[in-house]
Amino acid sequence: MQKIHDYEMELGRYLYESLLSVPNIRIYGPAPSDKCQRAALCSFNVDNIHPTDLATFLDQQHGVAIRSGHHCAQPLHRYLGVNASARASLYFYNTKEDIDRFIHALKDTVSFFHSFK
């Protein structure tokens, strides 16, 4: 179980760091560190793109599944001043290559939606 936990922490850190390369992204929560361990997931928004649009496009165009909505945390969303967020979640069966594929797909999706500006 410790190996699974350690691997999840590694994946979560890699996901967070990889998301930082996406233009106009806002990741919710503190950066992972030795003092702050995060679950292997990230909630985020991209400026001027609704999370449901992101999730739908990622699914239909890239075969990548993420969640969008309140994630049973409506009071937190109200506090953050957002109506919803997107969330990418990982587990021990995921790999860094899965994250790389997700980031590539997310950048493509952001580019697609921002092309309408």
Q: Which residues are catalytic?
A: 72
Nearest to 25, CA basis, from 59, 56, 5, 48: 48
**Whole-angstrom distance, CA of residue 89 vs CA of residue 33:** 18
Q: Where are the alpha helices (DSSP H) in the chain?
A: 2-19, 51-62, 74-80, 96-114
Tell me which residue has tokens 């390369």.
21
Tell me which residue has tokens 């350690």.
6
